Structure 1
Amino acid sequence: MKNQYNTRAIMASLLICGFVGMFSETALNIAMTNLMEVFQISAATAQWLTTGFLLTLGILMPISGVLLQIFTTRQMFTGSLISLIVGTLIAALAFNFEMLMLARVLQAVGMSLLLPLLFNTVLVIYPPEKRGAAMGFVGLVIMFAPATGPTIGGLLIEYLTWHYIFWLSLPLLIIGLLIGLKYLKNVTDVTKPRIDLLSVLLSTVGFGGIVFGFSKAGEGAEGWSSMVVVTSIVVGLVALVLFILRQNLMNVPMLNLSVFKFPMYTIGLLLILSCMMIVMTSMIILPMFLQTGAGLSVFIAGLMLLPGSALNGILSPLVGRLFDRYGPKWLVTPGLVLVAVMLWFLTTISPASSVAFIVALHIGLMVGVSLIWMPAQTNGLNQLPPELYPHGTAVLNTLQQVAGAIGIAVAISILTGGMEKYLHSSSDPTQLTEIANAMTVGSQSVFWFTMLIALIGLILAFFIRRVVNHEERYSAH
């Protein structure tokens, strides 16, 4: 029954589109300074291009589990791609900030439908013993695209204009759409559950409030003490508690939280969230340190982070195959040890550190992450019965966005706190060397924080074990 799908073509179309969506996300981050000049906007306003994107994902991801049961695979795919293509076209033509902002929201709508569809399709069209390798390719896209974004983005900005980030993406999306329309079959069961508007509202306010609050905390001068930040996080948390209570009382919940009854799913999820925080934090702090602390250009900073991120992506399919053969424990535990050691070395970086040393540490960090991410995720999802796949992927994708926003916000506030403390006691706080030293102190504090996360992950890893999948249990022939 499993062989009726053209798995290669289906994966190709989903992965091309996923790649482009993730690529434009980070390619635009490197263009922020450039966009601030072009549109005459402040850093806080420019930050909305990222915050708005994350916020849209945070709001739509929790609903994706229900959408996967209301619409067929082809309808979801077509809808997500039309949103991505229209958004990318508007971005490519954008001549003011508002137009670009609208484009980013449309792109985020597309991505928030595409990512859950991608995970869910892999779970449906591949048998459990081949899922590791397939998820490895998903990992390749999810890690490789954001990694190449800053480097290619930096090149395009240097020689052309930022518009080309989107002009480059457009033909790829159209190719992905055409392959998908030809080969993608309806793989999910359409059960047409009733949409509970109160659940949608609570989830929107809950996840949206938390992502918004943490994103705001990372950018403003007031930081965590800002009324907007405190209010939106508190309102978000209250709405989330009500959302959870409501889901537990419903016969057919919008987001089925019984996924947390499966211990390996929960451990896998926690390991992925800790990885997400470590990756997002290092992706933001290292370029800042390389530019302000070590005085390197945007393009060089982007290039220095490329080998680690590229290797992480390239290793992903290999790690997936190793997982299929050996299970999660022998990959996840060494991965976390490697990550913790690299982060410990990163707490010692200074403007005197050599380029090779920093590149080597980043490579070690990203190799460690690739050993943790895919095995933890696949093992966790494998424990779920098929009817919980849409919910499992929805919870996973939603909480990843939340963890990313929290990680960035905490990192930025530790960084600025460390810098301010150093400059406060400095005799000449405006001198460039002193600013570089302050950046170093702040960055080191952030890496102590991420090392702590890695050590918590390492404790969790001791409890991970290979799952006997539901399907294997029933079809042991």
Structure 2
Amino acid sequence: MSVRLETATPTDTQSTGVLRWLVAATFVAILNETITLTAMPRLMAHFGVDESAAQWLATVFLLTMAVVIPITGWFLQQVTTRQAFLLAMSVFTAGTLLAALAPVFWVLIVARIVQAAGTAVMMPLLMTTLMKVVPESDRGRVMGNVTMAIAVAPALGPAVSGLVLQSLSWRWIFLIVLPVAVAVMVGGLRRLTNVGEPQPAHVDWLSVALAADGFGALVYGLSEFGVVENPLIPAVTLGVGIVGVTLFVLRQLRLQRDERPLLDLRTLRIPVYRTAMSAMALAFLGMLGSMVLLQLYLQNLRGMTPLEAGLLVMPGGLAMGLLGPRVGRWYDRVGGRVLVLPGAAVISASFGVLALVDATTPIWVVLAVHIALMLGLSLLFTPLFTMGLGSLPAHLYSHGSSLLGTVQQVAGAFGTALVVMVMSSRAASLVESGVEPAQASLSGMHWAFAVSAVVGVLVLALVSRLPRKVRTLEEEPAAQSVDATG
């Protein structure tokens, strides 16, 4: 079942060329996950929709990612690297063009779905290819560069859209991305080489349906909590999602007996991967939740414009991007444990400080804490990606990256829903007791950031179980449980 490479020992030049274009494409694609957040008020005014409808532009992106990513583990084994790249970037580019030209709101929603479908293929393709072409001794450095695409792009999305909206129409959010996406697609096709050979296999359509129903309903239900007035609708949808995911898991366990699962869950039998994935999901949950809370705090309570709020969070995203490659080199030298422990401690402390800000807190304090938060996340993301996927045997790389991406999307939706629900319920309770709305909202944010701080503590508890270095299982059976904690 292992994937045979066309070039058993790819040269550094070949590896760098392949990964450079995959990183560029992934960065452009993932940037769009959060690029509409700052543009929400403008889009609501242009299309005449309310806030609950406008938030679908972000929700539907997460929803599509959660539905498509579970299928990519199987899909990437059926096609070549160039075929997967061409499909992903063609779909993403088509969605970007449709978004820029959208005459009505529902067309913009469809465009976001198309964009997300292309993005969902790029993420696992990048991670799977990296694990195949980069030797274990150099994975930390390379993964540090990859972190910029996966973690920094969502952090920079609101800042980029804020800059564009300062003097241009909302359509330019997509029009500026469009030529970049086309250039990356053309350049990548000219220089990309196929890293592995396709392995045609039967697809279990029941698994596809269960994945779409389960993960889709799960993300939708989580995203709607705290947004709609009737909590029964997201609660029922969430229940449907849980049932769907449960049936999907049971189906994969049955298909694994015949070596034909859509998403191989034997990755979860490996302790390091399981722990790294859990910590990664919680950290991503905290990051997206903090992005929502900070935008609400800066624009609603501090009266900042979208541009000002976007510029304030930009230094943190840039700091994460600049530190990523350095963290990768540190990982290659000292291992992951000495990086993830202080990283988790910093993000928990940062959330704790944000839980104390008020309407008079100096803006430079908020800026400094946000930069610290992004640096802490940078210390986490690169080692967790490297350790988690590095602990898998080669034939499970595509499944491991797909599962990691799926869990991330669910965690992102849950993080947004969690902070909005905590903030809204606390604020509503205080308003009913006679507290001014502004003060009630601030108190709600305090509670939401406090919950995020608890999440940071959970991340710290998880990463404390990780080893300094990971034993790589290149060809061991996936069914083996590996004790890498010793």
Q: Whole-Å Cα distance in 1 between the matches of residues 445 and 43 of structure 2?
A: 25
Q: Whole-Å Cα distance in 1 between the matches of residues 182 and 306 of structure 2?
A: 30
Q: Whole-Å Cα distance in 2 between the matches of residues 399 and 188 of structure 1?
A: 25
Which among 418, 425, 428 is matched to residue 410 of structure 1?
Answer: 418
Match of residue 166 from structure 2: 158
Q: Whole-Å Cα distance in 1 between the matches of residues 58 and 35 of structure 2?
A: 11
Match of residue 311 from structure 1: 319
**How do residues 250-329 of structure 1 correspond to structure 2 at under 5 angstroms?**
250=255, 251=258, 252-329=260-337
**How do residues 81-92 of structure 1 correspond to structure 2 at under 5 angstroms?**
81-92=89-100
Q: Whole-Å Cα distance in 2 between the matches of residues 452 and 426 of structure 1?
A: 29
Shift of 1:471: 4.0
Match of residue 9 from structure 2: 2
Is 2:118 the counterpart of 1:113? no
Shift of 1:472: 10
- Provide structure 1 residue ranges, at least 5 long, that are not aligned to the other structure: 428-433
- In the alignment, residue 352 of structure 1 is paired with which amino acid? T
Is 2:86 the counterpart of 1:78? yes
Question: 1:54-81 deviations in whole A, cap 9, x for unaligned?
Answer: 1111100000000001111111110111
Which among 439, 445, 451 is matched to residue 453 of structure 2?
Answer: 451
- In the alignment, residue 470 of structure 2 is paired with which amino acid? V
CA contact (8 A) 1:9 1:179 kept: no
- Provide structure 2 residue ranges, at least 5 long, that are not aligned to the other structure: 1-7, 477-486
Q: How many residues align?
A: 465
Match of residue 357 from structure 2: 349
CA contact (8 A) 1:351 1:436 kept: no
Which among 401, 409, 414 is matched to residue 409 of structure 2?
Answer: 401
**How do residues 145-184 of structure 1 correspond to structure 2 at under 5 angstroms?**
145-184=153-192
CA contact (8 A) 2:316 2:371 kept: yes
Q: Whole-Å Cα distance in 1 between the matches of residues 79 and 10 of structure 2?
A: 23
CA contact (8 A) 1:281 1:408 kept: yes
Match of residue 341 from structure 2: 333
Question: 1:404-454 deviations in whole A, cap 9, x for unaligned?
Answer: 001110110001011111211226xxxxxx332122101110111111111
Q: Whole-Å Cα distance in 2 between the matches of residues 243 and 151 of structure 1?
A: 38
Match of residue 195 from structure 2: 187
- In the alignment, residue 469 of structure 1 is paired with which amino acid? T
Q: Whole-Å Cα distance in 1 between the matches of residues 26 and 115 of structure 2?
A: 11
Shift of 1:20: 1.6
SS of aligned partner of 1:69: coil
Is 2:472 the counterpart of 1:469? yes
Which among 75, 89, 97 is matched to residue 105 of structure 2?
Answer: 97
Match of residue 215 from structure 1: 223
Is 2:274 the counterpart of 1:243? no
Q: Whole-Å Cα distance in 2 between the matches of residues 86 and 452 of structure 1?
A: 41
Give identity over the alignment, percent: 35
SS of aligned partner of 1:463: coil
Shift of 1:286: 0.8
Shift of 1:127: 0.8
Question: 1:367-409 deviations in whole A, cap 9, x for unaligned?
Answer: 1111111101211111100000011001000000000001110
SS of aligned partner of 1:3: coil
Shift of 1:334: 0.8
Q: Whole-Å Cα distance in 2 between the matches of residues 435 and 129 of structure 1?
A: 55
- In the alignment, residue 403 of structure 1 is paired with which amino acid? A
Is 2:446 the counterpart of 1:439? no
Question: 1:166-188 deviations in whole A, cap 9, x for unaligned?
Answer: 11111111111112111212213
Q: Whole-Å Cα distance in 1 between the matches of residues 250 and 154 of structure 2?
A: 36
CA contact (8 A) 2:288 2:415 kept: yes
Query: Cα RMSD between the aligned structures?
Result: 1.6
- In the alignment, residue 245 of structure 2 is paired with which amino acid? L
**How do residues 122-161 of structure 1 correspond to structure 2 at under 5 angstroms?**
122-161=130-169
Which among 38, 53, 59 is matched to residue 45 of structure 1?
Answer: 53
CA contact (8 A) 1:17 1:172 kept: no
Q: Whole-Å Cα distance in 1 between the matches of residues 155 and 315 of structure 2?
A: 9
Q: Which segments of structure 1 move beyond 6 Å, counting only runs of 4 or more?
A: none
Q: Whole-Å Cα distance in 1 between the matches of residues 102 and 335 of structure 2?
A: 48
Question: 1:188-245 deviations in whole A, cap 9, x for unaligned?
Answer: 33111210011111111111110011111142123xx22x212211111111111111
- In the alignment, residue 399 of structure 1 is paired with which amino acid? V
CA 472–199 in structure 1, closer or farther in 2 if over 3 Å, else same: closer
CA contact (8 A) 1:308 1:362 kept: yes
- In the alignment, residue 9 of structure 2 is paired with which amino acid? K
CA contact (8 A) 1:294 1:436 kept: no
CA contact (8 A) 1:339 1:364 kept: yes
Question: 1:237-293 deviations in whole A, cap 9, x for unaligned?
Answer: 111111111111112211110101110101100110111111001000011011122
- In the alignment, residue 215 of structure 1 is paired with which amino acid? S
Q: Which moved more, 1:192-201 or 1:18-27?
A: 18-27
CA contact (8 A) 1:347 1:443 kept: yes
TM-score by length of 1: 0.95
Which among 19, 23, 28 is matched to residue 20 of structure 1?
Answer: 28
Q: Whole-Å Cα distance in 1 between the matches of residues 293 and 193 of structure 2?
A: 42
Match of residue 239 from structure 2: 234
SS of aligned partner of 2:10: helix
CA contact (8 A) 1:293 1:435 kept: no
Question: 1:106-134 deviations in whole A, cap 9, x for unaligned?
Answer: 10111011111011111111111111111
Q: Whole-Å Cα distance in 1 between the matches of residues 347 and 152 of structure 2?
A: 18
Q: Which moved more, 1:268-277 or 1:180-189?
A: 180-189
Shift of 1:364: 1.0
Match of residue 11 from structure 1: 19
Q: Whole-Å Cα distance in 2 between the matches of residues 298 and 25 of structure 1?
A: 17
